[in-house]
Structure 1
Amino acid sequence: MNRKRRLALAIGAGIAPLLVVTMPASPASAHGYVSTPPSRQAQCAAGTVECGPIKWEPQSVEGPKGLASCSGGNSQFADLDDDSKGWQVTPVGSSQTFNWKLTARHSTSTWQYFVGGRKVAEFDDGGAQPPETVSHTVNFGGITGKQKVLAVWNIADTANAFYACIDVNIGG
């Protein structure tokens, strides 16, 4: 019996590396969005703006890293890219704290914030797993007026990121 057990262990040890290499990679289990000031998907979830299926899953705006769209390239969330939908605009000062609500946490490389296609802030988490809520204070520098902020949560161990757009009036 001892010999059979050793043989089974040896076979298992030989097969295990092959299974790890041949098994498909699982998608990111992380989900999250900017809750305050209210992002477009937060407004959809609250019923502030009529937006289709994103109402039920505001945390699911996931797409490949490097996109510049509010929908994360997801056609089912295309309403988020429509600037004419009557999004609530939040008045903010020259800096603003953005609060992310994470419904599933995942290792994070960086958090980025863009205004008009220009990166205005980046926070490096170095692969750490974030808590359920994350806050960043972003200084807008000399940018003023009505702006759309693109907030991006870059996942450390996948090729994906989560996207949120927040409509603000800086200095308003």
Structure 2
Amino acid sequence: MQPQSPKHGAVSSPPSRAQLYLENWQANGLEAGKFFPRSQPGMRDPFAPDDVVNAQPPADGKIASAGKDFAASLDEVGTDWKKHSVTSGQNLEITWGFHAEHKTRRFNYFLTKNGWNPDQALTRAQFDAEPFHSVQLPEQPYWEHELAPGNPTTHTLRLPQRPAGHQVLLAVWEVADTGQAFYQVIDLQYT
């Protein structure tokens, strides 16, 4: 049995891949360096330069697991993931639950591109380069402000246009007072 690590936060609704296929403590611990889709560590936040620089973001092919060995099954290739049914342009509510306090800078939401290949590992090239939705807490410097979203926190996203089929939504919660972000993948079935 693996030791439990500190719990942090995860998407609970619609259920993320982590919520569906991992134990709760594991689903809440999918953290790696912030600023996706960037791949290098040691970068300052251009919006909040006093925030802690980023740690190493997850490697391509390890985005769903945030590079955590205990969650490697989330990176498996295939289309048999449990999917949440959606339509182009609909509003989708994403709910995060938090199990450890972190000063929050932003939440970014990315979607796989038109024509992405579900038979290949999730890479930066499979996602749009810019988030289709972002929620940013503007107060600076982080040590003088609470920067704590409600628990739970729900964001309403208008989904981009996509053809019918499997798409992957990547939800990233970026922390101001560490170099980390929390990665959650939600499988969608566009109808």
Settle same-fold status: TM greater than 0.5.
Answer: yes
Deviation at 1:82, TM superposition (A): 1.3
- Say which of 14, 23, 45 aligns to 1:37: 14
Note the C-alpha offset of 1:138.
1.2
Q: Runs of 4 or more off by more than 4 Å in structure 1?
A: none
- The verdict on how the C-alpha distance between 1:105 and 1:131 changes in structure 2, with shifts beyond 3 A counting, is farther
Using the size of structure 2 for normalisation, the TM-score is 0.64
The aligned counterpart of 1:87 is 81
* Structure 1 segment 46-85 matched on structure 2, within 5 A: 54=23, 56-65=25-34, 66=36, 67=57, 69-84=63-78
Greater share of residues in helix: 1
Deviation at 1:37, TM superposition (A): 0.7
Q: Determine the C-alpha separation between the residues in 1 that align with 2:162 and 2:31.
A: 28
Return the letter of the residue paired with 1:149: L
Q: Which amino acid aligns with 2:19?
A: A
* Alpha-carbon distance in structure 2 between the residues aligned to 1:75 and 1:30: 16
Find the counterpart in structure 2 of residue 99 from structure 1: 95
Aligned length: 135
Q: Which residue of 1 aligns with 2:156?
A: 137
Deviation at 1:30, TM superposition (A): 6.7
SS in 2 for 1:136: strand
Q: Given the alignment of the two structures, is residue 124 of structure 1 paired with residue 136 of structure 2, yes or no?
A: yes
Higher strand share: 1
Q: Distance in 1 between matches of 2:167 and 2:150?
A: 28
Tell which structure's C-alpha radius of gyration is larger: 1
SS at match of 1:96: strand
Q: How does 1:150-169 map to 2 (within 5 A)?
A: 150-169=170-189
Between the two proteins, what is the percent identity of the paired residues? Answer: 30
* Secondary structure of 1:168 counterpart: strand
Structure with more contact order per residue of length (Cα contacts < 8 Å, sep ≥ 6): 2
RMSD between aligned alpha carbons?
A: 2.0
> What are structure 2's unaligned runs of at least 5 residues?
1-5, 37-56, 113-126
Residue 132 of structure 2 aligns to a residue whose secondary structure is strand
Q: CA deviation at 1:83?
A: 3.3
Rounded Cα–Cα distance in structure 2 between residues aligned with 1:85 and 1:42:
17
Change (3 A) 1:30 1:158: farther
Query: How much has 1:70 moved relative to structure 2?
Result: 1.0
Residue 104 of structure 1 aligns to a residue whose secondary structure is: coil
Separation in 2 of the partners of 1:101 and 1:56? 12
Q: Which amino acid aligns with 1:143?
A: R
Residues 30, 105 of structure 1: 8 Å contact kept: no
One-letter amino acid of the counterpart of residue 177, structure 2: D
Distance change >3 Å, CA 99–CA 144, structure 1 → 2: farther
The TM-score, its normalising length taken from structure 1, stands at 0.71
